[in-house]
Structure 1
Amino acid sequence: MTKNYTIKDISEGLAKKEFSAEEILSHYSNKIGLENKKLNAYLSTLDFQNSKFKIQNSSLAGVPAAIKDNMLIDGTVATAGSKILENYTSAYDATVIDKLKKAGVQFLGKTNMDEFAMGSSVENSAFGPTKNPHDLERVPGGSSGGSAAAVAADLCVFALGSDTGGSIRQPASFCGVVGLKPTYGRVSRHGLIAMSSSLDQIGPITKNVYDTALVLNTICGQDKFDSTTVSREVPDFTKNLDKSIKGLRVGVPKEYFTAPTGRQDEGLSSEVRISVQNYISELEKLGCEISEISLPHSEYALAVYYIIMPSEVSSNLARFDGIRYGHSSQKSKTLLEVYENSRSEGFGAEPKRRIMLGTFALSSGYYDAYYLKAQKVRSLIKKDFDNAFGKVDIIVGPTAPTTAFKIGEKSGDPLSMYLSDIYTVPVNLAGLPAISIPCGKGSESGLLVGFQIIANSFDEETLLRVAYQLENKLKS
């Protein structure tokens, strides 16, 4: 078995009895054993059989998958990339895990990630960085870099990641795979270790767009355990993938291709610009109507994100106190010392930084100046997208401003690292669906480039249709 299997390949192979589910699981388990040491994509591997399989004729039956280590699988360790949860064992299945189990998915293991999903490179993991399979000196992106690297290296057939400000799409871009962030409320967050509750969303990382649609079919739907999920019929996302996109209105935000005066060094690299513009031209050849649009408040998105997200982090991470679960300091003599020492010993530098930022933004006398104002600007960013979708059907642009950077290149400069998410963060603030697909290699570096497609709320069908047809045209 040497083929880089897709979900469709596995499904057809099992149906034709070319191999058994046990054989394909063993193939990937052996491959992980041989190759994971150099990549550090997996933090742990699993060897139990799926006993919940219920859905007959499921397209995911027998398919081996990887799961980001901030999603709970009953009876297994879930670290969220942090020492504070190094020995925490999940007491139940996340809703997405329960759905995948019932569909017959086999779980290979839990993938590496930035600590509590805070980062864009997996350099913030307490268990060491993951390396990009295409260049071992470079990062895979983050925070779902372990999942993206596992898919890109064919150490699984598909993976799940979580996306708070680009954490599925940016690593998909760096690793040359497909990554989808669904609409906020489309997929349950129950059993996802929370980072920023108004922004977090679970989504698939796959080898092609068709596989993305198959996984999305399974993980979507309202959940009684997550009140933010929406009561909406889940369509078959594979049904209209071939439907013509001729006449579809495509918006290209001018702000994504021009940096504000005096900040040109923060903008788009020339090789990413060229690759993205080539793909926009391909959409035109497919019959789409291309027009320039404006998202005037885009330049404030990163500032808004780094007020709202740390504020929610400071609240969500308060539960890790050394008492209820997770690491508990043995050096403490009083209750206050248990709190202080457990958190000081358990959290890494990035969670500490964001907890302090968020606590400050929410503190008395600063709430109105920071958090409240950020929420008001968030509304303006959402309104920009609403106005744009009154004129166009989808919005396209780069996923990340650069190709994958070298390990250690930005780790000493948090602001530079934060800029990696400049094109993905606005989508989370607005709660919209977006996908990153590979769009060739940079003309200078030869590294992979990602193309981002954004749709209106709950219009993943159009999003996937455009991505699928663009992918197929360029394959042919």
Structure 2
Amino acid sequence: MSSPPDFSDPQRAWAYRPAEPLAGAAGGPLSGLTFSVKDLFGVPGWPLTASTRAPVPEVGESVLVRRLLELGASAVGKTHLHEVALGITGLNGYGSTTHPFDAQRVPGGSSSGAAVSVALEQVDFALGTDTGGSIRVPAAWCGVAGYKPTKGHPDWSTQGALPLSWTCDHAGPLARNLATITRVQAALTGRPIQPQGWTGVRVGLWLPEGWTDDAVRDATLAFAADLERRGAEVTPVHLPEMLDAYSPIVLSEAAQVHAEALQQADPGFQPFTLSALRQGAALTEAEVQQAFDRRTDYAWLLNGVFMAFDVLLAPAVPTPPPLIGQDEVTVGEGVLPLRRAVLRLTAPFSLLGVPTVSLPTAAPSVGVQLIGRHGEDDRLLGLGLAWEQGT
């Protein structure tokens, strides 16, 4: 008999745990599975803080949490996140979340507690959100799998979740393996996920020179070589950094979400969060429109890339997890701000809304991304599932 999960929580992953889980419906396709809920989703009777001491808007009941319960999964509690989901380390107003296996390092964010809860086997899967990498980054740094659906996926509703950016927000799961994620996907959609062979699959390798350290570069190249051994055709591909479109859109929309709190001199946000939100509020309408125009150009560019490739392969993080409080990282091209180094790898695929999975590699705390065409979620998950079954 397996031992019960350890909920002592030295990592500060849990925002709220009721005395008893919310039981899922008996006999459903997800019966027997437990999940955690990122503390952005509205659950009746459970508090919602978004891991901030500042006031946050009411969101109502999460359509997605209700649906997962109806399908048989049981909700164990709520997990902490990087404050209001505006960050990639796990910093928040409740002591901040640490890495599941190294207390000196960050777990990634913003779905920090979600990744920790699955990495420590406290739940079978975790419900997170991803606006610029918030599922994929913690999945990579905590050694688990994550899935960001196509933007607007009908079965991964963000209704009843506190937004960060309605243009870029996605809801999605993390789990210790992709098999669990595909089980959840199949239950939500009513379509089974079949493993997809890699023979003849055209893979675009996006590994910009100097954007990662050697450990991540080597792990990504090893993953590419493994796909080639499975029959894939791997060719380098080039995409630009897209933060000039991403950042103004997200910050301006986040400032609108939290406009009421920002009317206060000291609303209770952490200093970095408050500064970022005020920066977003100061953007002009013209500056935001220019960002949306650039987004349109990038979407055309990515659509063109996907005429030549079936999927893309890219690093999910630029380095293994940094130390708590570390604001810069060293990559091939030099020392860079941590936020830029991370988000330029992950933000394009939230900005443009294409489905993406993060998979662990043989290198500790290093993950890669597989990116699919818009709407081809099931095929992407099938390819990932075949890779996992053959590993």
CA distance in 2, matches of 1:191, 1:184: 16
Structure 1 residues 94, 465: CA separation in 2 closer, same or farther (over 3 Å shift)? same
2:332 maps to what in 1?
none
Find out whether 1:162 has 2:129 as its counterpart: yes
Give me the whole-angstrom Cα distance separating, in 1, the residues matched to 2:366 and 2:301: 26
Deviation of the 1:414 alpha carbon: 10
**1:198 pairs with 2:149:** no
Offset, 1:49:
5.1
In the aligned structure 2, how far is the partner of 1:448 from the partner of 1:96? 29
CA contact 1:144–1:162 (8 Å) conserved in 2: yes
Q: 2:17 aligns with which of 35, 45, 53?
A: 45
Partner of 1:83: 53
Partner Cα separation in structure 1 for residue 18 and residue 187 of structure 2: 21
SS of structure 1 residue aligned to 2:88 = coil
Match of 2:294 in 1: 377
Counterpart of 1:249? 202
- 1:310 aligned to which of 243, 251, 262: 251
Q: In 1, Cα distance between the equivalents of 2:388 and 2:32?
A: 26
2:295 counterpart SS class: helix
Deviation for aligned residue 1:92: 4.2
Deviation at 1:245, TM superposition (A): 2.4
TM-score relative to the length of structure 2: 0.92
Which of the pair has the greater relative contact order for Cα pairs under 8 Å at 6+ separation? 2
CA contact (8 A) 1:140 1:174 kept: yes
Q: d(CA) in 2 for partners of 1:439 and 1:286?
A: 16
1:449 lines up with 2:357 in the alignment: no
Query: Which one of 43, 58, 71 corresponds to residue 41 of structure 2?
Result: 71
Q: CA deviation at 1:85?
A: 4.0
Match of 1:285 in 2: 229
1:207 counterpart = 2:167: no
**Aligned residue type for 1:340:** Q
1:274 maps to a residue whose letter is D
* Separation (CA, whole Å) in 1 of partners of 2:227 and 2:36: 32
Distance 1:273 1:235, change over 3 A: farther
Measure the CA separation in 2 of the matches of 1:49 and 1:83. Answer: 25
Cα displacement (A) at 1:411: 8.2
Counterpart selection for 1:340 from 264, 280, 300: 264
Structure 1 counterpart of 2:121, one-letter code: D
> CA-to-partner distance for each residue in 1:375-420, whole Å, 9 max, x for gaps?
1111111111100111111000100111101111128999433322
Q: In 2, Cα distance between the equivalents of 1:158 and 1:470? A: 20
1:438 maps to 2:360: yes
**Which SS does the other structure have where 2:327 is aligned?**
coil
Following superposition, the deviation at residue 440 of structure 1 comes to: 1.4
Q: Which amino acid aligns with 1:206?
A: A
Deviations, residues 89-118 of structure 1 (Å, cap 9, x unaligned): x78420111101111221111111111101
Shift of 1:191: 0.9
2:75 aligns with one of 83, 101, 107? 107
TM-score, normalised on structure 1?
A: 0.76
Unaligned 5+ runs, structure 2: 330-334
Q: What is the aligned partner in structure 1 of residue 387 from structure 2?
A: 470
Q: Provide the secondary structure at the position in 2 that maps to 1:65.
A: strand
Residue 472 (structure 1) shift: 2.3
Structure 2 CA distance, aligned partners of 1:176 and 1:100? Answer: 24
Decide which moves more: 348-357 or 406-415. 406-415
1:293 Cα deviation after fit:
2.3
Alignment of 1:14-413 (within 5 A): 27-28=4-5, 31-32=6-7, 34=8, 36=9, 38-48=10-20, 50=22, 53=25, 57-85=27-55, 92-123=60-91, 125-186=92-153, 187-219=156-188, 234=189, 236-238=191-193, 240-241=194-195, 243-253=196-206, 256-259=207-210, 267-295=211-239, 298-299=240-241, 301-320=242-261, 339-341=263-265, 344-362=266-284, 367-368=285-286, 370-410=287-327
Quote the Cα distance in structure 2 between the aligned partners of 1:320 and 1:72: 19
| Residues 118 and 350 in structure 1, CA contact (< 8 A), matched pair in contact too | no
TM-fit CA distance, 1:194: 0.9
Q: 1:472 to 1:49 in 2, by over 3 A?
A: closer
Determine which structure has more spread, i.e. the larger CA radius of gyration.
1
- If each structure's helix is expressed as a fraction of its own residues, which one has the higher value? 1
- Measured against aligned partners, the alpha-carbon deviations of 1:198-250 in whole angstroms (never above 9, x if no partner) come to 1011000011111111222345xxxxxxxxxxxxxx46242x12x32211111
SS in 2 for 1:389: helix
- Counterparts in 2 of 1:286 and 1:414: CA distance versus 1, 3 Å: closer
**Partner SS, residue 154 of structure 1:** coil
Q: Which residue identity does 1:76 align to in structure 2?
A: W
* Alpha-carbon contact 1:74-1:91 (below 8 Å) kept: no
CA distance in 2, matches of 1:285, 1:352: 49
Q: In structure 2, the residue corresponding to 1:146 is in which secondary structure?
A: helix
Runs of at least 4 residues off by over 4 Å: 411-414
1:237–1:464: 8 Å Cα contact kept in structure 2? Answer: no
SS in 1 for 2:163: coil
Contact 2:23/2:75 (<8 A) preserved? no
Q: Is the 8 A contact 2:23 2:74 kept in 1?
A: no
Aligned residues of 1:399 and 1:436 also touching (Cα < 8 A): yes
- Kindly tell me: are residues 468 and 246 of structure 1, through their superposed partners in 2, closer, same or farther at Cα, counting changes over 3 Å? same
1:272 alignment partner AA:
V
> What is the letter of the counterpart of residue 19 of structure 2?
D
Letter of the structure 2 residue corresponding to residue 252 of structure 1: L
Alpha carbons of 1:51 and 1:153: their partners in 2 closer, same or farther (altered >3 Å)?
Answer: closer
